[in-house]
Amino acid sequence: MKRNKVLVGNWKMHKLAVDAKHFSQDSRELVALAKKHQVLLGVAPTYLSLQVTKENNPELLVLSQNVYFEDKGAFTGEISWPMLEEIHVDGALIGHSERRTYFNETSLACHKKIAKMLSLDRYALYCVGETLSEFQAGLTKEVIRKQISEGLQGLSTNNFHKLIIAYEPVWSIGTGINASAEIAQDICKFIREELANLFSKDLSDRLPILYGGSVKPNNIAEYLSLSDVDGALVGGASLEIHSFKELLQAII
Ligand code: PGA
C-alpha cells in the first residue's frame, strides 16, 4: 500500500522566536517542493515559537511538542488545545521519550491527549520506543505493545487519518547510534500488526509510521526505502534549514 511520506523536525528546546521566524521564512520553498512530491512537511517548535513559525509559513505543518488534555482550569504551567488552536497550530507531538523520561508522562496520559487531538480532527504524532536497558533485555516488542495499546486502545477510529506513529528507540535519540534498517523495519512492521490487531488491517495499512533517532541527510533515504517506514521524526538534523532541505531532498 502506498502511503504519503512524512518529515517532521522536532526542535525540542532550541531556537529563539527570531530564529524560528527566519527558518520558517526560508522553508516556504521547501513546502512547495514537499507538496509536489506528496510529502507532509512539518516542524515542532517550542510553545513560544509556534505562532511566528505558522505566521511566516502557513503551509508548513506546525505541531506543538505537548498539549494538556483539559481545556482550561487550575493546571499551572500547562497549555491547552484551545490556546494552541487560537494561533493555528495543526496538532501535537505526544509521548516523546524526553517527556516520558524527564516529565513522567505515561501512556495513559498520552491516551487522553491523543483522544483530544483526534476528536477535534487535529494531528496527533504519537511517539513510542524502548530504552537501552529494555532493548538489551530483549523487551522491545513488549514495551511497544504496551505503549500502543495504552495510548490508543478504545479510541474512536473515525478521525484516525490524522494519527501518525513514530518509533523512536530511546537509545538512538541524539546519540548518533541510529537503529539498523532491520530493526527499524521489524519494529515498524510490528507496530502495524499491533494496530491491525487493535483496530483493522485496512486502518493499519493506511497509518503513517515514522522512524526517529539520529536520522541524518545521509541515512534518511535508507529508512524511507523500508516497506513499513513512511517518514522520519528528526531532532538535531532538522535545526538548520540547509540540513532540513537535504533531508527532504533525500526522500523525494
Ligand atoms: P535526534 O532526535 O534526531 O536528534 O536523534 C530525534 C527525536 O528526538 O525526535
Compute, in angstroms, the gap from residue 44 CA to the centroid of ligand 1: 12
Instruction: Record the cell numbers describing residue 61, joined without a space.
Output: 505543518
Percent of the chain residues topping a pLDDT of 70: 100
Supply the pLDDT for residue 159. Answer: 84
Whose grid coordinates read 482550569?
73
Question: Which string of DSSP letters, residue by residue, matches 124-167?
Answer: EEEEE---HHHHHTT-HHHHHHHHHHHHHTT--GGGGGGEEEEE
Residue 125 has pLDDT above 80, yes or no: yes
> Which contiguous run of DSSP H or E holds residue 187?
helix 181-198
Supply the pLDDT for residue 82. Answer: 97
Supply the pLDDT for residue 101. Answer: 96
Q: Whose CA is nearest to atom 3 of ligand 1?
A: 235
Question: Which string of DSSP letters, residue by residue, matches 36-86?
Answer: HTTEEEEEE--HHHHHHHHHH-TTSEEEES--BSSSSSS-TT--BHHHHHT
Residue 149 has pLDDT above 80, yes or no: yes
Average pLDDT, the chain: 97
Q: What is the mean pLDDT of residues 35-55?
A: 98
Q: What is the pLDDT of residues 56-103, one digit of tens each?
A: 999 999 999 999 999 999 999 999 999 999 999 999 999 999 999 999
Q: From the CB of 235, is ligand 1 less than 6 Å away?
A: yes
pLDDT-derived band at 186 (thresholds 50, 70, 90) equals very high
158, 199 Cβ separation under 8 angstroms: no
Supply the pLDDT for residue 2. Answer: 75
Compute, in angstroms, the gap from residue 148 CA to the centroid of ligand 1: 20
Whose grid coordinates read 487550575?
74
Q: What is the mean pLDDT of residues 12-26?
A: 98
Q: What is the pLDDT of residues 237-246, one digit of tens each?
A: 999 999 999 9
pLDDT-derived band at 158 (thresholds 50, 70, 90) equals confident
pTM: 0.97
Residue 183 has pLDDT above 80, yes or no: yes
Instruction: Check if 96 is active-site.
Output: yes
Q: What gap in Å lies between CA 91 and CA 106, rounded to an integer?
A: 19
Instruction: Estimate to the nearest angstrom the gap between the alpha carbon of 236 and the chain centroid.
Output: 14
Q: What gap in Å lies between CA 204 and CA 221, rounded to an integer?
A: 23
> Which contiguous run of DSSP H or E holds residue 17?
helix 17-26
Torsions phi, psi for 114 (to 5 deg): -65, -45
Supply the pLDDT for residue 66. Answer: 98
SS3 248: helix
Q: What gap in Å lies between CA 94 and CA 151, rounded to an integer?
A: 10
DSSP state of 215: -
Compute, in angstroms, the gap from residue 172 CA to the centroid of ligand 1: 8
